[in-house]
Structure 1
């Protein structure tokens, strides 16, 4: 991930609803959620949710798949991994053992 992409991703996450959506989709895992479900869980109107989902899609942190007339959204793990790698790129002054506690805290068996 380059600096411009990282700035766009951080900008997308700088709004509370979009951050909540990403965290919700991470929890949903491989099953994802459709837009209506996301809006219902978070108490967000459809048009507002649509706007926020489009911003997250463009940021590379969320992906979607069409299912008939509805669209299912998923956390884009590769995009999230790219953002984390961008943050950790120059971590710990060349001493990777210092970064192990941080990396251990974010690794999961997804």
Structure 2
């Protein structure tokens, strides 16, 4: 279970780093919506990324409310994002291959069922 949780946490970090690289001026609320986590979860992830030196805070110069920040990836953050991207992509390719194998197995089962007179009802 811990391995699965670590993968999910890394997926969230990957998505957050990717979004921030594209748009460093996203609010925590916007980031939370885009990633599919709570605002508190987004705050927690951002704080951890800042503590690790992967993201730094910058002033959001165009905002009327000077309390808004830009979340800027550091060189270390860019390097980490590249490493996470590589792992994320390898995991998704493996999931895709497993899913395709399962689909092929199901197609074969359906074909055998239809050949044996067990035709499935079509909707």
TM-score (norm 1): 0.50
Select the structure of larger CA radius of gyration.
Answer: 2
Greater RCO, 1 or 2 (C-alpha within 8 Å, sep 6+): 1
TM-score (norm 2): 0.46
More strand by share: 1
